[in-house]
Amino acid sequence: MELNAIIDQVTREVIRYMDQIEKKPEIILLTQDQGIKGQKLLERYTKLGVNCGLMTQKKDELDTVKTIILFNITNDVLYKLANGCSETPYLKLASDAVLQGKQVILVKEEVEIFKYEKSAPALYFNRMMEHLEFLKKCGVDIAYEKDIPLYVEAQKLKEQIEEEEGQEQGLRLALKQKEKVEISSVKHTVLKLNKKLITEREVQEAVRKGAEVIEVMPRVIITQLAKDTIRSHNLLVLEDNR
């Protein structure tokens, strides 16, 4: 095979692989009916602009998935999911999603026990509802199907906020470290105060010793008079996190 032909073949394989990666769904519609009903569900959610797919049995199914939407929640499924049973691919994927902290949404219209709310014995109905409440405490959402897009968007917003908060915290730590480096690069007189409470007296003593930087313990309490003295003498206060 000529070199150009080999390059063309490798290029096609790379493009095909990248297409497969890009097409991995962020949302899985978990239904026990993988036939016509499942395909109709997929078509309906795809029209909403949702990048989703139906359940498969691949081990890496949850790698890129952020949300699992459960349909066909029979009483049997409800009981087994709440009790950690994963004897079918459907239950296995649902259980793994809960354990991995994915967003899991039960479609309320698909929860069988609600159909018997008026006819079922109160004791039986309440027992099934205990399983449902347990799942809710584990972070599982229960929503009417029309409201699911709102839940998905809320999850995206939450992840975005958490990411921004993480970036902001990282920036604060970086700036703090930069400040320490800048101080250490210039000769300053540093006085370390190993006290949980710092008063004006300790600050004035530090000034008399010629301190320019005061190093304090984490979560130290500094009185207002001590803060005033620190400002008036242009002292720098650093927290010792070592």
In this predicted model, what pLDDT tens digit does every residue of 149-159 receive, in sequence order?
788 777 777 77
Q: Which fold has domain 3-160?
A: Rossmann fold (3.40.50)
The mean of the pLDDT values for the chain is: 78
Query: What is the reported pLDDT for 57?
Result: 44
User: Is the pLDDT at 190 greater than 60, yes or no?
Assistant: yes
Question: Can you tell me the distance from the alpha carbon of 22 to that of 65, in angstroms, rounded to the nearest whole number?
Answer: 12
User: Is the pLDDT at 196 greater than 90, yes or no?
Assistant: no
pLDDT in tens, 120-139: 999 999 999 999 999 999 99
Query: What is the reported pLDDT for 179?
Result: 59
Query: What average pLDDT score do residues 173-188 get?
Result: 57
The domain ranges of the chain are: 3-160, 175-239
Name which of 79-83, 200-204, 215-219 the model is least confident about: 215-219
Question: Can you tell me the distance from the alpha carbon of 88 to that of 74, in angstroms, rounded to the nearest whole number?
Answer: 14
- Token match 């459907």: residue? 90
Query: What is the reported pLDDT for 21?
Result: 46
